[in-house]
Amino acid sequence: MRRVRCGSVLLFVFFLLLFPQSLFAQEADPATNPGHLTWMLTSSALVLFMTAPGLAMFYSGLVRRKNVLGVMMQCLFLMGLMSVVWALWGYSLCFGGEGKFIGNFDHVFLKGLTMGTETPGELPGGEVPDLIFMIFQGMFFIITPALICGAFAERMKFSAMALFSVLWGTFVYCPLCHMVWGEGWLYYGSEGSLLGGALDFAGGTVVHISSGVSALLAAMMIGRRLGFGSEDMRPHNLTYTVLGAAMLWVGWFGFNAGSAVAANDSAANAFVVTHLSASAGALSWALIELIFRGKPGVLGTASGAVAGLVCITPAAGFVQPMPALAMGAIAGVVCYFACGKLKATFGYDDSLDAFGVHGVGGTLGAILTGVFATQQVYPDGPNGSVQLVIAQAAAVGVTVVLSLVVSFVLLKILDITIGLRISQEGEVRGLDIAEHGEEGYIS
């Protein structure tokens, strides 16, 4: 607790130092089209909506009743925590400077972000004010670690989760984001990029693969839940999961179509293919369950929609509608097997299938982007080709290695210092009472 107290004092000192300072120059720029601005505001709101209520409902419905608040809290608290980190240094490490592997400190405390759109060349987001590009990107910084929480649900210490998220955000997300979107080593077409760079429209590598594989690692390092395999661990409230999935679907329009950073043809295309891929994913997972399980499951249909959404994410600005249908359909089937079979075979306890859906679906999407990308959608980009597939695979590889190595180090350190896992008694009582002193439902 001492640590935390110091931390909060430090935070306050930061604030006090910064109050009266001028952070950005206000220059009205007549060129900012209010239509673009509106779309990015709306998209930012939609992406936040994905984390909570969306993901909070989706995930919390899947755990047992006694952990429902614990899971929701992870989403809610990360909305607060990661946003503050983002404003203080996260954005700068992602989008500051022209480094190959990570940003710099030019924009710590949001220094130097202007309202005008005539921003210096090193800043992306040309169509909207830097500040709005910053907030939109910040919403991604929230949801990515929140996705990881699915893997170690129902047993991780809250404090460890919080610290891990800050560190992971800083040391995994920031470099990756910079490399992929900050015109770094993995950025398509940037100088000296790996095999020419990879396409990632809205976060196949940065968001889904990074979180998915880190999640898998975390699940394995923290171990299975008590009673895994013997106790009744059915989702306590599938209605939440369905509603959460629907909210994710809706919010994803902001995620993907917002990644055009303008209300333009690219956004329009992203919107359409996102919807179609989600639809096809829902359908194909339901059908494969009909075949292998005898009944189309509700959880399966919801998972299929999410799988379709994950898979189209890197491709949204590059592929056409019919291939999007195919991508969603494939994702539904592949993730079905990833969730149902991989876990059973290897015996790890990725409680809410963060890896099975996001890791696998993201990888699939990244690769298929290399297949289906077409200049008819994005004239400045490449067409699908073997070469592009290889570049995409290379980006996947870098993401996987970076995520695994850094996550491993971070988790080890946390395990040794404060411990990753709550006490047995706490786990039996549930996170809600043990970690937060509250209960989800009182009858």
Partner 1 sequence: MKKVEAIIRHFKLEEVKNALTEGGLTGMTITEVRGFGRQKGHTEMYRGTEYAVDFVPKVKVEVVCTDEQLQSVVDIMMQAAQTGQIGDGKIFVSDLANIIRIRTGETGQDAL
Residues that bind partner 1 (CB under 8 A): 227, 230-235, 293, 297, 299-300, 303, 336, 339-341, 343-344, 353, 356, 428-429, 433, 437-439, 443
Query: 14-18 contacts: CB < 8 A, separation 24 or more?
Result: 14/88, 14/109, 18/109
Cβ closest to a second copy, residue 333 vs residue 404 = 333
Q: CB of residue 360 vs a second copy: minimum separation in angstroms?
A: 19
CA distance 176 to 90: 12
Q: CB of residue 335 vs a second copy: minimum separation in angstroms?
A: 14
Q: How many CB atoms lie within 10 A of CB 334?
A: 21
Cβ closest to a second copy, residue 138 vs residue 359 = 138
Cβ closest to partner 1, residue 308 vs residue 356 = 356
DSSP 370-418: HHH--TTT-TTSPPP-HHHHHHHHHHHHHHHHHHHHHHHHHHHHHHHHT
Q: CB of residue 66 vs a second copy: minimum separation in angstroms?
A: 11
Cβ closest to a second copy, residue 12 vs residue 346 = 12
Q: How many CB atoms lie within 10 A of CB 159?
A: 17
Cβ closest to a second copy, residue 240 vs residue 348 = 240
**Contact partner, 227, from partner 1, a second copy, none, Cβ < 5-8 Å per class:** partner 1
The answer to whether 354 and 342 have CB atoms below 8 angstroms apart is no
**Contact partner, 170, from partner 1, a second copy, none, Cβ < 5-8 Å per class:** none
**Contact partner, 145, from a second copy, partner 1, none, Cβ < 5-8 Å per class:** none
Cβ closest to a second copy, residue 226 vs residue 409 = 226
Q: CB of residue 208 vs partner 1: minimum separation in angstroms?
A: 18
The answer to whether 359 and 215 have CB atoms below 8 angstroms apart is yes
Q: CB of residue 356 vs partner 1: minimum separation in angstroms?
A: 8
Cβ closest to partner 1, residue 3 vs residue 293 = 293
**Contact partner, 343, from partner 1, a second copy, none, Cβ < 5-8 Å per class:** partner 1
Tokens for 306, please give them: 């999410």
Four-point Cα dihedral 53, 54, 59, 60, nearest 10: 20
Q: CB of residue 397 vs a second copy: minimum separation in angstroms?
A: 25
**Contact partner, 230, from partner 1, a second copy, none, Cβ < 5-8 Å per class:** partner 1
Q: CB of residue 100 vs a second copy: minimum separation in angstroms?
A: 28
Q: How far is CA 434 from CA 237, 427, 437, in A?
A: 21, 8, 6
With a CB cutoff of 8 Å and minimum separation 6, the contacts of 27 are 114, 115, 116, 118
Cβ closest to a second copy, residue 18 vs residue 401 = 18
CA distance 54 to 56: 5
Question: Helix, strand, or coil here: 157?
Answer: coil
Q: CB of residue 77 vs partner 1: minimum separation in angstroms?
A: 17
Degrees to nearest 5, angle at CA 105 with 49 and 146: 25
Place of tokens 């890791």: 359
**Contact partner, 126, from partner 1, a second copy, none, Cβ < 5-8 Å per class:** none
The answer to whether 46 and 250 have CB atoms below 8 angstroms apart is yes
CA distance 292 to 211: 29
Q: CB of residue 316 vs a second copy: minimum separation in angstroms?
A: 13
**Contact partner, 118, from a second copy, partner 1, none, Cβ < 5-8 Å per class:** none
**Contact partner, 303, from a second copy, partner 1, none, Cβ < 5-8 Å per class:** partner 1
DSSP 83-94: HHHIIIIIHHHH
Query: DSSP character for 224?
Result: P
Q: CB of residue 73 vs a second copy: minimum separation in angstroms?
A: 5
**Contact partner, 253, from partner 1, a second copy, none, Cβ < 5-8 Å per class:** a second copy
**Contact partner, 231, from partner 1, a second copy, none, Cβ < 5-8 Å per class:** partner 1
Cβ closest to partner 1, residue 421 vs residue 429 = 429
With a CB cutoff of 8 Å and minimum separation 6, the contacts of 342 are 355, 356
Cβ closest to a second copy, residue 13 vs residue 405 = 13
